[in-house]
Amino acid sequence: MRSKSPNGSKSPKRYLLKKWKLDATRDVTLVETANSAIVAVVRNKGAQIGVSTEPFVKQGVRNGIWSEPFCNIPKEMGPYAYSTFNVRLDAIQKTPELVRGFVRGMMKSLKFVDANHDEAAEIATTQFPTKALADLKATLDRSFADELWSKDGTIGRASWDTAKAVVMGAGLLKIDVKYDEIIDMSFVDKLKTKL
């Protein structure tokens, strides 16, 4: 099997290969490329399988290059913190009101997007004015279907367990870091009742 995939998906892909008892050097040939190039690479027979995200998945389907995905990474991996924001500990300690305000804004936006899919696509067009509306909707539709985002800002323990297994499996994390050592839900927990 020859697979093309973006550099950002290297860790999850290697994690799943290991889970499926496939050796990343012996059983497959992995060639990393830009996510935007995967459609062209598979179309031109440079790879048998493409690991990609939207809108490229839907572009490949629309152009008859491949069918709908045969593997859904979010469903295969289980809970995973796909989208997070990271704040330095000293920022939390020195500017807690600023961090609280940012967390509040993120929580409000997550709730809005979850409740207003069509409006989310309209807002996305202002951020990505050169992207076709069909591509934006495909990206959002798959993200909603795969439940890529927390609906309220919560990152559960199971999400960290999966993320930790991925980065440890890829050799990017060498020590066992506990959930409470890296994830602070105190701002989210305090704001949940107020939003």
Per-residue pLDDT band at 8 (split at 50, 70, 90)? very low
Which pLDDT score, from 0 to 100, does residue 10 have?
A: 64
Q: What is the domain partition of the chain in residue ranges? A: 2-71, 89-192
Q: Of 10-14, 79-83, 129-133, where does mean pLDDT reach its minimum? A: 10-14
- Average pLDDT on 124-153 reads 87
Which pLDDT score, from 0 to 100, does residue 186 have?
A: 93
pTM of the full structure: 0.73
Q: How far is CA 65 from CA 40, 44, 54, 73, 133, in A?
A: 9, 9, 14, 20, 21
How many other CB atoms are found less than 10 A from the CB of residue 32?
14
Model confidence at 1: pLDDT above 60: no
